[in-house]
Amino acid sequence: MLGFIVYFTFLVLGFFMASSIFKDQPFYVRLWLGLLAGTLGLMWGVVPFSFVMGFTVASHLFALLSFGGLTFFVYQKANKVLPEIQLSKKKVFNKEGEDVTPKQKPIALQKLLRIIDFQWDKTFGAVVWITVPLLLLTGFILFSHVLDAQPKGFYGGQSTYGDLSLHLGITTSIAEQGTFPPDYSIDPGTRLSYPFLVDSLSSSLLVFGSSLSLAMLFPSLILLLCLIMGFFILAYEFLKNKGASILATILFFINGGLGFFYFLDANYITVTDGNLGAVKGTLSQNISRMLTDWYHTPTNFNEVNMRWSNIICDMIIPQRTILAGLTFVLLAFWLLFKAITNENLEDKKYYIAAGVAGGLLPMINTHAFLGFSIIALVWGAVFLFQQKKISQYIIKWLWLGIPLLIIALPQLFFWTFTQASSEGFIKISLGGWPTVGNENWIWFWVKNVGLVFILLIPALFAAKRKMLSFMSGPIVLFIVANLVVFQPNDYDNNKLFYIWYIFCVILVCSYVWSIYIRMKGIRCRWLIIALVVALGTLSGGLTIAREINSGGTVQQYDNTSIQVADYVKANTTKNATFLTGRQHLNPIAALAGRNIVLGTGLYLYFHGINTSEKDSNMSKLFAGGTDFETLSKKYNIDYVYISPYERNDYKANEEYFKSTYPLFKSFGNGQINIYAVSTVAKSTVNNGK
């Protein structure tokens, strides 16, 4: 509960900071900005103090005091430029001569209310109208997919089966070990260069005693709210039309291409030894299989090269860094758009704020930083040729570039470049995005992105000069992402394509809505909007239905694993190292936050980490004997964890460990046994009871 209170305090302070700086913006925009500012305050504010005193309660309290002081300074400064508030001395009397002067609010309260300035309008209503249903939808999937506590353990869904344990491990290890900067708990000694700040945000709640479920779910819920609001707000800045902005928001979140055609007949596609086939059946059987089979959906069906995954199901729910990256890159783009379109040449705040927001992105999501940087550079160049006062224009852009580089470069050199210099990062692919494969390039994008891609060309031809200028950046990003692979898994370039897609959806909805407006007076013109929504969301809707159906059905950790993690947290040193198998569902790393010798290649390989030496030694370690004695000292092993996985995959020589080392603890009637190896570990043994 205390962790929730601390985070909520940051959010309140963030709102007052945003309302003080951007007092010219409507309430719903300041609310959105405030939630983001507060989240950044907790996420980033603790970092400099953690370098000095570790990731501890003390570093968080210093962060809170600093953020509170900054908010108070900004609040006071904002009130100074506003007209002075004075209490009226005029008395009001009734006919009987009684003093009926209305009681006046204290000046401090009036200043506070002036900063809050709550006002309801139709645009605010549109924000609520689109945000609430989407938040309920995404929230429902989130709660059924992340640590869904059931009588037999923690359950999730199809999409979180793979990635969730990575984020759990980062979150718990940062909170438990308190070491900063953190290392990989699944490869001790290797600096954690993967963007971890969204996970350390959850670690902050754990530090103050929150449950793991609350620590994972509450920040994600806030980010989902900000993401949905942020997309609508950015779209509305471009379109200045509530209906078109709502349409764009729907098409963005319920995205999908033409994959539904693979499922709308009586034949069901099958894959046997890599060969496609078909099974005769009924349409209902086909739909039923789609709702139950593993990754055979209209937006994620590799065998037929459907790779444009639905953003809710396969991006923002399972991949927390993408959730945070998209949320904050929308903020950076909104600020930059306001800066470029601001007619007040003396107002630098939007450029500075955009630079700060962009500069904070690398350790939130590196792809978001890359996408923002490319688009911002292109915008800067394109709009340069439209200026009369070039020198003044360049100076304004320096107000963006300088803070961006000052904030971003230390992150890039300390974290990102050390990882990106590994083998497999940044490869030129002149043949196009490798994920496309041998398929016709145009057909790949048509069938994957669907209606939005089909309407993109006429929308570009119909667009005005200003909109075309803004589309220049996303188009360059699309070209770059098709020619350069930025990580070992080429599919991860889709994180850049989703940033491109933000602007494509906005442009296409501007075009569609302009047709709708020109059809004024024609009966049933609403059918054109209905058709766009149907074709643009059918694949995404079916995929979401599949994901909802999978919620709470996939066991991630059984009660025995949870019991193991709880006991390990309570009875071992926080920096203890365990020898376990490389299974990704690893309670020691994911739930207990302890180090393991080597985790799954599912995570480490795609992070550019070479684990070949350790991997070759894993079987030797589990074999016991002199090899274990030597290697256990090399890897600082404190405990050996043996479960059915280690017995099956590594043929663990349990007789050796049983005869050589004391039993630390046994679980599940001997199903899981932990042996104490190091001197420190042996001191924690209580006869295995």
3-state SS assignment for residue 442: helix
**328-354: pLDDT as tens digits:** 999 999 999 999 998 776 678 999 999
Q: Where in the chain is the domain with CATH 3.40.50?
A: 556-682
Total residues belonging to the chain: 689
> Looking at residue 283, what is its pLDDT?
75
Mean pLDDT on 543-564? 95
CA distance 226 to 667: 43
Mean pLDDT calculated for residue range 511-534: 91
Q: Which two tokens stand for residue 61?
A: 């309290």
What the block records as the tokens of 257 is 């291409």
**Could you tell me which residues are beta bridge partners of residue 148?**
155
- Report how far residue 632's alpha carbon sits from residue 654's, in angstroms, rounded to the nearest whole number: 16
- Asked whether the predicted pLDDT for residue 209 surpasses 80, the reply is yes
This prediction's pTM: 0.93
Question: What pLDDT does 57 receive?
Answer: 96
- Looking at residue 687, its pLDDT comes to 45
pLDDT for 92 equals 60
Contacts of 648 (CB under 8 A, 6+ apart): none
Cβ neighbors of 424 (< 8 A, separation 6 or more) are 487, 488, 608
Query: What's residue 647's pLDDT?
Result: 94
Looking at residues 685-689, what average pLDDT do you find? Answer: 59
pLDDT for the residue numbered 108: 60
pLDDT exceeds 80 at position 675: yes
pLDDT of 171-203, one tens digit each? 999 999 999 999 999 999 999 999 999 999 999
Helix (H, G, I), strand (E, B) or coil at 578: strand
Model confidence over 569-595: pLDDT tens digits?
999 999 999 999 999 999 999 999 999
Cα–Cα dist 389/93, whole Å: 61
DSSP 3-state of 452: helix
pLDDT at residue 262, rounded to an integer: 82
The 10 Å CB-count burial string (b at 16+, else e) for 33-44 is bbbbbbbbbbbb
Mean pLDDT over all residues of the chain? 90
Residue 98 has pLDDT above 70, yes or no: no
Rounded to whole angstroms, the Cα distance separating 598 from 363 reads: 23
Q: Look at domain 556-682 and name its CATH class.
A: alpha beta
For 490, which DSSP code? G
At residue 39, what is the residue type? Answer: T
3-state secondary structure of 179: coil
Three-state DSSP state, 526: helix
Q: Do 545 and 538 contact (CB within 8 A), yes or no?
A: no
CA distances for 526 relative to 242, 245, 518, angstroms: 15, 16, 12
Q: What pLDDT is stored for residue 97 in this prediction? A: 64
> Cα–Cα distance between 336 and 194 in angstroms, integer?
26
- pLDDT, residue 105, reads 61
The residue type found at 315 is: M
Is the pLDDT confidence value at 61 over 50? yes
Picking from 62-76, 158-172, 412-426, 524-538, which range would have the lowest pLDDT averaged per residue?
412-426
pLDDT above 70: residue 491: yes
Least confident of 76-85, 296-305, 402-411: 76-85
Confidence band (pLDDT; 50, 70, 90) for 689? very low
Cα angle 373, 378, 380; round to 5: 95
CB 198 within 8 A of CB 323: yes
**Helix, strand, or coil here: 294?**
coil
Cα distance between residue 69 and residue 65, in whole Å: 6
Taking alpha carbons only, the member of 636, 632, 686, 634 closest to residue 657 is: 632
Residue 100: the pLDDT is: 57
CA angle 181, 491, 537 (to 5 degrees): 110
Bridge pairing between strands 153-156 and 577-579: unpaired
DSSP string, 324-390: HHHHHHHHHHHHHHHHHH---TT--HHHHHHHHHHHT-TTT-HHHHHHHHHHHHHHHHHHHTT-S-H
Q: How many whole angstroms from its chain centre is CA 323?
A: 2
pLDDT higher at 115 or 1? 1
Residue 94 has pLDDT above 90, yes or no: no
Tokens of 16: 């007052």
Percent of the chain at pLDDT exceeding 90? 71
| Mean local confidence (pLDDT), 527-553 | 94
Average pLDDT over residues 516-545: 92
Residue 117's pLDDT band (boundaries 50, 70, 90)? confident
- Percentage of the chain beyond pLDDT 70 is 89
369-388: per-residue pLDDT in tens? 999 999 999 999 999 888 87
Residues 399 and 352: beta-carbon distance below 8 Å: yes
Beta strand pairing status for 639-642 and 427-428? unpaired
Reported as a single tens digit per residue, the pLDDT across 265-320 is 666 666 666 566 666 667 777 788 788 888 888 998 887 888 899 999 999 999 99
Residue 102 has pLDDT above 70, yes or no: no
Rounded to whole angstroms, what are the CA distances from 549 to 220, 228, 352, 536? 21, 23, 45, 21
